[in-house]
Structure 1
Amino acid sequence: MTPQPSAPSLPSWATWWQRPFPDANTLLLPGRQPALIDSGFVGHAEDTASWARAQAGDVALVVNTHWHSDHVGGNALLQARGAVIAAGAPEAEAISRRDPGCCAAEYLDQPVAPYTVDMPLDDGQVLRLGDAEWEVVRTPGHTPGHLGLWQPEQQLLVVGDALSDYDVGWVNLALDGPDAGATALASLHRLAALAPRVILPSHGPVPADPSAAFATALRRAQRLVDDPDGALWYGARRIFAFALMIRDGMPTSEVEPYLHARAWLTDAARLLDVAPESLATELVTTMLAGGAIVLRDGRLHAAAPHTPVTAESLRVPHPRAWPPSTEPQ
């Protein structure tokens, strides 16, 4: 057998935490001003804060690659303990004005505790993270404010959900428009042109071969452009699986009523020109047949490995009920 390449090594000043769903992977950069890139899911905020503190002391800065719930869940707790929160300018501005659509939290039915962005980030901006300088790379597509981070001396590239060793980020054609797939593809091309030595994705392992990972991701992203219906199905599967993960599954009797009440499913059905009830039924049927979800003891569960969360941790207000951003969080 041909030996498989091992993952490229990280410098000693970077600490990587590969986490299962519903958390995004976390990068900790210790130093005089310890920085954290992404803060996991709200149900594991204490775990995130405790891990970072044990590794590097108090976190001074949190940088979010984007505002989905698995990336910003520790923001509120870390901000309350003194951390500055930084995020891409479009999302920072929406959070500052308390837009009801913040984090797509209500739309996706994914809880996010209220926080404020202290530092909006623009393309090309240089940040001191830990003891090294990183460049902000704007990479819209998965979300409009999605960004990557580039460390040129070590050729490290944080890519958020733009790609992983096995996937690319889903695109929301309903919220972000029909060109969202093409936007994501253009962002991937921009990231690939940096020719990084190490890719640090938000989900899954560090790819052993960055060039191969980009080649595969570009093919997958092109399919999302070429097949908008397929992109809608892909997003629906990802959103529903995540809903099952954070709720420890769902009784079968509650699944279809839950799906019928979801804005993301209604929007997908409209774009696919099918009835929401038909889409809900087909979604469950095809995910069961494909093994993405499983039926166990009368409940549907996501099949992918994931860490449980408590029901209490999901009880946070949607952004429309967040306090004004000028109030202490």
Structure 2
Amino acid sequence: MSAVGLPPGVVLLERGWLSSNNIVLLGNGEAAVVDSGYWTHAAQTIDLVERVAQGRAMTTLVNTHLHSDHCGGNAALQAAHPALRTLIPPGQAAAVRDWDPVALSHEPTGQACPAFRFDDVLVPGTAVRLGAADWEVHAAPGHDPHSVILFEPASRTAISADALWENGFGIVFPELEGERAFEEVSATLDLIERLSPRLVLPGHGRAFTGVAEALARARSRLAAYVADPRRHAAHAAKVLLKFKLLELQQVRRADFLTWAENAAYLRLVHERFASGMPLAEWVDALLRDLAASGALREENGALTNA
């Protein structure tokens, strides 16, 4: 639980990288939650947010975007709190209403997310009451074309999701699909700079106040990706592999290779950025890079998360 410099009634639950952070906002007798983590951590998410709520009614669940690590606990939270009002960004409302795990990216990335309902959408340019304050909703495309960030002007607190971390930002998924989105990342960083937050609560990692420095690091990373999109693609592929290993913790190498070779998103990245190398060899090289960086261990034909 992170509490450094947080405004009253705002609690950041810093999670591991398989689950996004949860932000709990406390009001008069009620509580709201921003993002719900990955589905395998749902029971832990419910326990954590209920402990913070301390008996307050859980009234609102907000998703900054609909990647599985940010909305995977939605269904469990809704089951535990049937009156919970769920708000999502508008861009994928139809995909949630019709429950299309392909359009939502869950199936192509080889991830999972139990189906959930939503009650309304977060409209950029408006504000939403969460806890004891009104939070501005701002469109934040780049990492995800439908993502939003939330900003509370009185305390100058930004909930940045994966648009800005203390050391970078999330994979720019549209770029992997052949759409121009690095420019959108830049525009979203400019937006955060204009908002001039005192404090940023990111989707992953600790809360931070060194916003100018974080923006400079993010822009430096973005410039490197613009100069060499293959570097971004290789990083993205390794993140997807690491994410699955975080979920599984340990798996036979042969089984993991089979999963990777059948993950549609990894096949897409391979076809667009590494088609000169057979898919199996490319995945094998990525796994060797992850092992060399200390992100996994390999023994007796098994891969173990590290």
Q: Same fold (TM over 0.5)?
A: yes
| Alignment correspondent of 1:50 | 47
| Alignment correspondent of 1:322 | none
| Alignment correspondent of 1:280 | 283
Corresponding letter in the other structure for 1:24: S
Query: Is 1:31 paired with 2:27?
Result: yes
CA contact 1:173–1:232 (8 Å) conserved in 2: no
Counterparts of 1:267 and 1:48, CA distance in 2:
32
Counterparts of 2:199 and 2:127, CA distance in 1:
19
| Alignment correspondent of 1:289 | 292
Counterparts of 1:175 and 1:83, CA distance in 2:
35
| Alignment correspondent of 1:181 | 182
CA contact 2:26–2:32 (8 Å) conserved in 1: yes
Change in CA separation of 1:296 and 1:162 when aligned onto 2, cut-off 3 Å:
farther
Change in CA separation of 1:163 and 1:204 when aligned onto 2, cut-off 3 Å:
same
Q: CA deviation at 1:302?
A: 3.1
| Alignment correspondent of 2:75 | 76
> 5+ residue gaps in structure 2?
none
CA contact 2:143–2:174 (8 Å) conserved in 1: no
Q: CA deviation at 1:110?
A: 1.1
CA contact 1:23–1:70 (8 Å) conserved in 2: yes
Corresponding letter in the other structure for 2:289: T
Q: CA deviation at 1:18?
A: 0.8
| Alignment correspondent of 1:154 | 155
Name the SS for the 1:65 alignment partner.
Answer: coil
Q: Deviations 1:157-197 (Å, cap 9, x if unpaired)?
A: 00001121123111124665331222222212211221110
Corresponding letter in the other structure for 2:105: A
Aligned pairs (5 A) from 1:120-131: 120-131=121-132
CA contact 2:176–2:233 (8 Å) conserved in 1: no
Counterparts of 2:227 and 2:183, CA distance in 1:
9
CA contact 1:63–1:86 (8 Å) conserved in 2: yes
Name the SS for the 1:199 alignment partner.
Answer: strand
Name the SS for the 1:159 alignment partner.
Answer: strand
Counterparts of 1:76 and 1:100, CA distance in 2:
14
Counterparts of 1:182 and 1:297, CA distance in 2:
45
Higher alpha-carbon deviation: 250-259 or 35-44: 250-259
Corresponding letter in the other structure for 1:25: N
Query: Is 1:12 paired with 2:11?
Result: no
Q: CA deviation at 1:208?
A: 4.1
| Alignment correspondent of 2:65 | 66
Name the SS for the 2:104 alignment partner.
Answer: helix
RMSD: 1.9
Corresponding letter in the other structure for 1:300: L
Q: CA deviation at 1:296?
A: 4.2
CA contact 1:144–1:176 (8 Å) conserved in 2: no
Q: Deviations 1:47-70 (Å, cap 9, x if unpaired)?
A: 212222222233211111111111
| Alignment correspondent of 2:120 | 119
CA contact 1:171–1:180 (8 Å) conserved in 2: yes
Aligned pairs (5 A) from 1:184-223: 184-223=185-224
Corresponding letter in the other structure for 2:290: M
Name the SS for the 1:255 alignment partner.
Answer: helix
Counterparts of 2:175 and 2:189, CA distance in 1:
21
CA contact 1:189–1:218 (8 Å) conserved in 2: no
Query: Is 1:21 paired with 2:21?
Result: no
CA contact 1:62–1:83 (8 Å) conserved in 2: yes
> Taking structure 2 as the reference length, what is the TM-score of the superposition?
0.91
Query: Is 1:140 paired with 2:141?
Result: yes
Higher alpha-carbon deviation: 276-285 or 156-165: 276-285
Name the SS for the 1:47 alignment partner.
Answer: helix
Counterparts of 1:52 and 1:29, CA distance in 2:
10
Query: Is 1:299 paired with 2:295?
Result: no
